Each structure stands twice: as C-alpha cells, then as structure tokens.
Structure 1
C-alpha cells in the first residue's frame, strides 16, 4: 500500500504536459499544460529625498545653552570674535536630523577643499539673488522704456560674473569627483581608485552633502530666500532636467524668465542634449568656449606671481581668513561680521536703539518673533546685515600668462579638528547610547 502511495505521489519532470514536433529545431519539445505562475514582484523600498529633510530652526533656550557650552567654537587668545564658516557649519550640524548625519559627512565637511567649495557657493548664491532682484526690477522698468546698448553691456557683465563664480564652484566640485587632494579617501573607488565602485554610497554622500550645503548657505545669507537658494543650487549641480526640487515645488521659475533674464542668470554655456547625455551647468562652465581666466581654476591652491584685482578678490573670498574680509571690502553673507551682534543661533539681535542692554536683548531675542512688529524689525535688520557684492571689473585681456604652470602652492588654511571631533563624538553618543 505504501509503495502504491509513493508511486502515485511521484511527480515526473514531464508530467502535466505534452510533446510536440518543432519544425524549426527538427526535434520534440515539451509543452506544459499548467497555467503560467504569476511573477512575484519585489517591493524595493524607496529612499526619502534629502530635499524633504527638515532642519530644526526653533531651538529653545535650554538647547541653545547646551550648544553654547558643548559645541560652540571657543575663541583662542587674541583671536577676533567674528563669524566664521565653522560657526555656520556648527549650527547646521546641531540642527540637522540624525538620519542625515554620518561620520563620513562630518569628516568631509571639515576639509579645506569642502570649505572653499561652500564659500564659493555662498558667494555665488548671494550674487545670484542680488542679480535676480536687479534683473526683475529692470524687466519691469523696461516695459515703459527702450533698451539701449548700455543695457546689453551691463547684463553681459552680470552674466560673466555669474559664470566666473560658477567656475569657482566647479573647480572644487571637480576635485571632489576625481578624489583629488584631501578628498582622496572619499572617492567611490577608494583612495587608490582600485576597488569596486561604491556608487550607491557615493550617491548618498553627495545628496546629504548637497542638502547640508544648502542649509549652510541659507544660514550664511541671513536665513532668507531658502527655496530660491535650494532651486538654484540643485539646478547648477543636476541641470533643469534632473532638478528634484523643481519637480517637487513646480515653480517653473526658469520658464517664467524673460530672455534677457535667462541670458544673464543662466549664462551662455548651456548644452542641450538627450537626457542621458545631460551635463550639469557647472561642468558646462568648465568646458565652455569663452574667455576664462586660467587662475580661476586653481584659486586658493596654486600660488601665482601676479593676480588681477578680480582674481585677488575671489581668492580672498574663497580661501582667505574670515577676520580679514571686512578689511578688504569683501562681502560674504554674515561671514566676517562681529559675533556679538548675533545670538547663539546666529540670528541678528534687536537694534540697540530700542534702549535695551545687551544682556536683556540676548535673553529676549528668542521671544522677539511673537509679535508682528518684532518680526518686521528682524527682517529689516537682516536686510541691512551686509551690503551687495561688487566684483572688480573683468580685464579685457589677461596681461599675465606664465611660460609654465606654477608648481608652488598656497598656504592651505586647516579646518578645526577640535570641532570635527566634537561632532563625531556627539553623533556616536546619539547612535550608540
């Protein structure tokens, strides 16, 4: 009986089907009579876009005291008390969600290349907002006026200035991509570029760095025009086609621009191609057929014998110490301003003309947003915190061109290793309590 059950339960390879003759192969083939099995689809979890990550901007007094005691940069004897890029980075790291942070991101934020990269982005974003407002005003005025050749000259100057500032960003961005200089250990194929590419890890690092950079730029510019800053930074890195922020907000800000605005704000180094061959506007600026001062491609790294007023201004803005920015008339957001006129979270304190002492102002600054009048006062203070950028005029022809490329390097300003270790220790305590 058992043998009959075993024999009846035996399932052969060619059961539930039949054989047919195939003329093409001149052979018998087996055709199953069973219905096809449904294909099981695997649900791949989608990553949350980093653009939707929210930073805390409503830090209470207790948290501010904790930040000031544990994480705020401590002044060295004789060091001027001005706002540095490290101060802005500290605020961004303190208010960032833990899901965005990683030891690799913290280490990368404390590299000289990354600091030059962020400072170039701050200068570009500030000048972009400045020119965007100017062009919007000019477009309104030109509705009742006639364009003159001077209009084209002025707008071409705006266009060239923005293009040169994009080159400064692209210079540092290219260094990160190829793993050059101090970014070698962050390359997706390892420091020696010999291991298997970690493309997913590299993409995640880039996205988190980009989101953190947007926050730092927004803080450095006095907490204004966040959406405009985020849209433009994502555009120059990812192009209009792959601008995820624009796909989310649906502003159509580029399509709404007039031709003159597009020429001035976007430049002429635009390469229209199929989606898979799309280059970011930053790379288009580097490979653009226009006159580019060769010194822009290595400002702050290679030491040249001669600098024009324009390149010297940009070098000091990107790689110079923050305490000397005001001395040379360089405007870089709130960087270089006295830290005493800001509260712990780098918000401007109320005006001294209100008749309050500095102690009373610092104690009540967190509550100043409770009334409409105080909000309007704060906005006026932010608008007057720093003046507009005035770039030196571009030379008609580069008078200096070396016979060979210089091999001398500039003195690289190191980042604060103390602050880097503080943020690494804080992240370790949060992740592994």
Structure 2
C-alpha cells in the first residue's frame, strides 16, 4: 500500500494535516490544525432522493439563526408563535439543493399560508380523533354500543370532512394557478407554456415535503409518520402514493375507525376518472355549507360560531387565537415557552419545584436524576390542548341568489422574511456555482 493510500489527500495524521506531493513524490506537512468548516458545508448536502432536515443544530448555529434570520418583533406586536416562525425554521434547516426561489415565494403567499394553516388544523384534529377512536374501540370490548355512539362518530366524520374542504379549496387554487398562484403554475401565468412533467413532479414532491415538516413542527415535533401518511394520502391518488404503499400493513385500522377518518366521499373509480381524496371532497354530494369553500377569501356577513372559529384558524391573525381559544398546534402560543428550535421548555409546578429543591439539597446525584426525569416528562406531555370545534347549527342554510363580491381581510405576508430568505438562497447558490467551477 502506498503512502497516498495510507494518509489520503489532505488527510489527518498525528493531529496534523498532510498532503501527498505528486511532483516531489513525498508527503508535505501543511498544518497541525483541523481544516476550517465552511458555513456553506453546514447547509449544502449532495443531491439525493430523500430530503432530510437538520435536527442537530448546535448552539453557535442557533445564535446565528436568532441574530440574522429569526423574525424580529414590531413595536406593539404580541410575542406569540406565528406560522412565519415555523416556516423560517424549516427553510433554515432544509438542504439548499432542494430549495428554489419559486418554492420560497410560494410559501410566502396568502394562499400558501391558508393552505398550511388548514393542513395543520386538519392533521392535528385527525390525529386527535384517531386516538379517541382507538380508546373507544378498547372500551367497546367491555361495553355495549348505543345509538349515541353513532351520533358522536357522525359528528367526528362531519368535522373531518369540513376541515378537508378548507384544505381542498386552497389546494384547488394552487393546482389551477388562480389568484396569487398564477406565477407558480407549471405552464406559466398565461398557461400557454409547455408542461415540464419531470420538473413539475420534482417541485411538487419538494413542496409536499416542506408542508410535512411545517406541520410536524407545528404539532410539537410529534406524529411524523402519521402526518406524512395523511398528507400524501390527501394530495395523491392511490396509484401515485408511494409513501402509502410502503406503509401498508404497518398500522392497520379497524373498519369503523377507518370509516370515521376517511369519511363518506372516498370514491374508487377507474384509473382515468380517479381523483385525489381532496378533489373527491370538493365534488362530494354530502350536505356542505357553501361558505366553507370561500372562507378567508370572500367576506360573508353573519357567520356562525363554527365558521368564525374556522375562519380565525385558517385566515385570522395569530394574536387573536389565544383569546378566542382557537388551537392550531403551537401557533398562537407565547414564544417564551419555546427555545430557538421551537422545542417546548420544561416547566415545573410549585409542588415539583419544592420537591426538586429538597432533592438538590441532599446530593448532586439525586438532583441530576430528578432533572432528567422532569425533562422526560415534559417531552411526553401534550404541547398544545385538544382541538374543540364548535358544533353545527340545526338550521340549514341554503345558497343565496347572489354571492358577495367583497373580498375578506387578507392576513398580510411577512415580506421582510421573504426577501431575507431569497437573498440567503442566492448567496448559497453563488457559493455552490463557485465550487463547481473547474480550477485552472
């Protein structure tokens, strides 16, 4: 074996850096320090089929993120977690080779934000109902089923169907390139270009992966597999759902649980007429309040308590969520309860604090054990309370003779953060092109 094989090109040997000189045929000493890690290496990874986000961000990187990239509070603004904070963290930890200027702009549009908030609300409520149905299934092994069970499960089914409508109406806007989504249509704003199928499919998969990560952080970094499965099931037909094919047989659901979670609008047609489950919700024949399909876009007078709740959850300001008891994961919660990476900080009750102080006075070993136990307990606690959607009113509302043409108050998008991420992305891509240039 040659010296080059032993030490490598620029390898480490006895705490130093050595380089094999081809002309002199000998090893040359360079430095006794390790090579400096460039900032670009922390963000760029070689292109691969899986989009992996960085979870092990060290303290220095967190300080850099807080100083340069974290959203700054405006005067008089409440210090609560916004959807923008979660988007910032996801873009910061995403590999640069998967990002694009189009994707960053797409996430910073009113339609994109309404889609993300509706998806967060639906996934959180769907996971909550699935857990409740599993508990009810265990209870039914010892109890007798009553007619009230059918009424409760029908309420769950209607709530999930209405939340899917909120996701579907924004998804239709994205697919058709309507409104503020015109620049992002795969055939151009005028829809006259040639459709680049491979490029469009790659952009679609990247967008779904970003949405999954945003929902995952919004729900307290829990239920990643369930969020990924449900998001792919909603947005894709069964033939193109590769994630669903891989997970078949892992966690089978019983018949009545599946009926509640999937709803009544799931259709099994021939391949040519097959739609994704979200499109099936739009064209479903079940009784739907017509105002759900324009909530947050069209200004409707005299909204019911249920519709006001859903409108605030999808398109309302985040500061009002805590006062109105609207829950969308960690959005709307005080930012002081979370660290830089949006992990909840451990909190102790007065009784636990008194116990911990007594234990700390006894010995350091006991205090370290109790500290680790309280940290584990805080990780397993629910980050946010349960989602309680107001019930439907008994009065049926028919479609009016004429629809309102007044637009609703649009929640403004943070343009400062959008320009910040665009400039960072351009800087990273310039570094990438410089590294790929051949040296003379």
Q: CA deviation at 1:400?
A: 6.1
**Cα distance change on mapping 1:248 and 1:53 into 2, 3 Å:** farther
- In the alignment, what sits opposite 1:423? 421
- In the alignment, what sits opposite 2:379? 379
Deviations 1:282-329 (CA, angstroms, capped at 9, x unpaired): 000110110000000011000011211111110010000001001111
Query: 1: distance between equivalents of 2:201 and 2:296?
Result: 27
Query: 2: distance between equivalents of 1:261 and 1:124?
Result: 17
Q: CA deviation at 1:251?
A: 4.2
Matched, 1:119 2:117: yes
Retained in 2: the 8 A contact 1:246–1:252? no
Query: 2: distance between equivalents of 1:398 and 1:316?
Result: 22
**Correspondence list, 1:175-214, <5 A:** 175-214=173-212
Indicate the larger mover: 402-411 or 216-225.
402-411
Q: How many residues align?
A: 370
Query: 2: distance between equivalents of 1:237 and 1:252?
Result: 21
- In the alignment, what sits opposite 2:333? 337
Deviations 1:187-234 (CA, angstroms, capped at 9, x unpaired): 111111122223332222221111000000000000001001100111
Deviations 1:356-397 (CA, angstroms, capped at 9, x unpaired): 9xxxxxxxxxxx99x85255223244x1x3211111112234
Unaligned runs of 5+ in 1: 1-46, 357-367
Indicate the larger mover: 344-353 or 181-190.
344-353
- In the alignment, what sits opposite 1:37? none
**Cα distance change on mapping 1:397 and 1:202 into 2, 3 Å:** farther
**Correspondence list, 1:388-403, <5 A:** 388-399=386-397, 401-403=399-401
- In the alignment, what sits opposite 2:62? 64
Query: 2: distance between equivalents of 1:247 and 1:54?
Result: 20
Indicate the larger mover: 218-227 or 237-246.
237-246
Query: 1: distance between equivalents of 2:177 and 2:229?
Result: 26
Return the match for 2:347 from 347, 351, 356: 351
- In the alignment, what sits opposite 2:138? 140
Query: 2: distance between equivalents of 1:328 and 1:400?
Result: 28
Return the match for 1:102 from 78, 94, 100: 100
- What is the TM-score normalised by the length of structure 2? 0.80
- What is the TM-score normalised by the length of structure 1? 0.82
Find the structure with the greater CA-based Rg.
Answer: 1
**Cα distance change on mapping 1:401 and 1:272 into 2, 3 Å:** closer
Unaligned runs of 5+ in 2: 1-46, 357-367, 432-440
Retained in 2: the 8 A contact 1:112–1:415? yes
Please give the root-mean-square deviation of Cα atoms over the aligned residues, in Å. 2.0
Retained in 2: the 8 A contact 1:56–1:96? yes
SS in 1 for 2:161: helix
Query: 1: distance between equivalents of 2:239 and 2:398?
Result: 39
Query: 1: distance between equivalents of 2:423 and 2:411?
Result: 24
Query: 2: distance between equivalents of 1:251 and 1:109?
Result: 34
Retained in 2: the 8 A contact 1:221–1:333? yes
